[in-house]
Amino acid sequence: MLLVMNKNASTEEIDSVIAAIKKQGYTPRPIPGGERVSIGILFNRGPVDGTLFLGLPGVKEAIPVTRPYKLVSREFQPRETVVQVGNVGIGKDSFAIIAGPCAVESETQALTIAKRVKEAGADLFRGGAFKPRTSPYSFQGLGKEGLKILDKVRDVTGLPIVTEVLDLDNFNMVEEYADVIQIGTRNMQNFSLLRRAGLSKKPVLLKRGMAATIDEWLMAAEYILAEGNSQVILCERGVRSFVNHSRNTLDLSAVPVVRNESHLPIIIDPSHAAGRRDQVIPLSRAAVAVEAHGIMVEVHHAPEEALSDGAQSLYPDQFNVLCRQVRSIYDNLRSGREGD
């Protein structure tokens, strides 16, 4: 249930509605809007009787919420969320480009790539210090040393840092260094990790589980919002399918569905979807056309020597081409839409 307040509702009226919701044993969640405040009712078991609140001063409407997820839904918040990371706003009408290697391998490697992607026009730098690898014998990331390298990259280039957290043990450490905390596909339903991310003041990039439905994905995001952190960026990175021409199958149709269902920004990761460098530029172009709010792309200056995901990493020159093409499609779409 969502209680929509009158435009000129006073603070006292809002406070007394909040108190009335608590009195019924529910949890109120005020949602500031452009023009008016709405108050969501959470943690109700079974339907809420709207008439309990409709007569209270300042209450305009009681709207039943039909979706299983609430805080992430457009029913609760029609206004699109823009996640602010430094100078970059991700969401609504913007298109953000996040780029960098799969893993931080050394200071020289990270700085070399960061300078190239910055020159090409990337908005944020990505790189894993903790890597979720299928084999325990594969490179697992540099850990804290990797985070310190990312700190240096931010100092030198000014690019905000996106990096993955794998577990609760290292959450505080990753949170301290990251500008955006990534939760990977394998952890999409790690509920204790989601809850901890919900307590963070840092934005969270939540990847779609490789076999997750959109409802499951949005419910995972709901865990983060329910704890108080509404700065969530969703990331479609391909789902498992029967094909063998790519590592996963990029589900582009997730973008219009998620944009319709949720106010949260959604970006595309074409690198993990494809698993092969030759598909990354075409899929990035498609991401703009389908109106994603950005892309996250793996780039390496020497992919043949990369310690992880070399096959899908673009050479810096290819990333230049990608940025040019993607920005040009974006600008065209935008100017085409201005006359609508």
248 contacts which partner out of Mn ion, ligand PEP, none, CB within 5 to 8 A by kind? none
C-beta of 7: minimal distance to ligand PEP in Å? 43
Measured between alpha carbons, how far is 58 from 40 in angstroms, rounded to an integer? Answer: 15
C-beta of 127: minimal distance to Mn ion in Å? 10
132 contacts which partner out of ligand PEP, Mn ion, none, CB within 5 to 8 A by kind? ligand PEP
Contact flag: residue 210 with Mn ion (CB under 5 A) = no
Measured between alpha carbons, how far is 264 from 123 in angstroms, rounded to an integer? Answer: 19
37-42 vs 27-32, strand pairing mode:
antiparallel
185 contacts which partner out of ligand PEP, Mn ion, none, CB within 5 to 8 A by kind? ligand PEP
- The count of other CB atoms within 10 Å of the CB of residue 340 is 4
184 contacts which partner out of ligand PEP, Mn ion, none, CB within 5 to 8 A by kind? ligand PEP
Interface size with Mn ion, residues (CB under 5 A): 2
Listed in sequence order, the DSSP H helices in the chain are 11-23, 51-54, 107-120, 144-157, 171-177, 191-198, 214-226, 254-261, 270-274, 280-289, 316-338
Give the residues across from 39 on adjacent strands: 3, 30
From 69-77, 88-96, 99-107, 140-148, span contacting Mn ion (CB under 5 A):
99-107
29 contacts which partner out of Mn ion, ligand PEP, none, CB within 5 to 8 A by kind? none
Q: Which is nearer to Mn ion, 3 or 306 (CB)?
A: 306
Angle (deg, nearest 10), helices 316-338 and 107-120: 30
From 167-175, 188-196, 212-220, 301-309, span contacting Mn ion (CB under 5 A):
301-309
End-to-end CA gap in the chain: 34
**Residue carrying the six token digits 């991401």:** 287
Q: Which chain residues interact with ligand PEP by CB under 6 A?
A: 102, 128, 132, 184-185, 207, 237, 272
Measured between alpha carbons, how far is 299 from 183 in angstroms, rounded to an integer? Answer: 20
Q: Which is nearer to Mn ion, 102 or 162 (CB)?
A: 102
C-beta of 272: minimal distance to ligand PEP in Å? 4
Q: Which is nearer to Mn ion, 14 or 296 (CB)?
A: 296
C-beta of 89: minimal distance to ligand PEP in Å? 22
The helix (run of H) or strand (run of E) holding residue 233 is strand 232-236
Residue nearest to ligand PEP (CB): 184
Cα 287 to Cα 75, 97, 158, 244, 263, distances in angstroms = 25, 11, 26, 22, 18
C-beta of 216: minimal distance to ligand PEP in Å? 15
Task: Report the length, in residues, of the chain.
Answer: 340
Which listed residue (309, 318, 322, 330) binds Mn ion by CB under 5 A?
Answer: 309
Cα angle, residue 298 at apex, residues 297 and 301 outer, rounded to 5°: 130
- Do 3 and 53 contact (CB within 8 A), yes or no? yes
C-beta of 295: minimal distance to ligand PEP in Å? 12
Buried/exposed 74-105: b ≥16 CB within 10 Å, e otherwise: ebbbeeebbbebeebbbbeeebbbbbbbbbbb
C-beta of 287: minimal distance to ligand PEP in Å? 15
Q: Which is nearer to ligand PEP, 75 or 179 (CB)?
A: 179
C-beta of 162: minimal distance to Mn ion in Å? 12
From 79-87, 102-110, 115-123, 167-175, span contacting Mn ion (CB under 5 A):
102-110
Distance of CA 34 to the CA centre of its chain: 23
143 contacts which partner out of Mn ion, ligand PEP, none, CB within 5 to 8 A by kind? none
Q: Binding residues for Mn ion, per CB under 5 A?
A: 102, 309
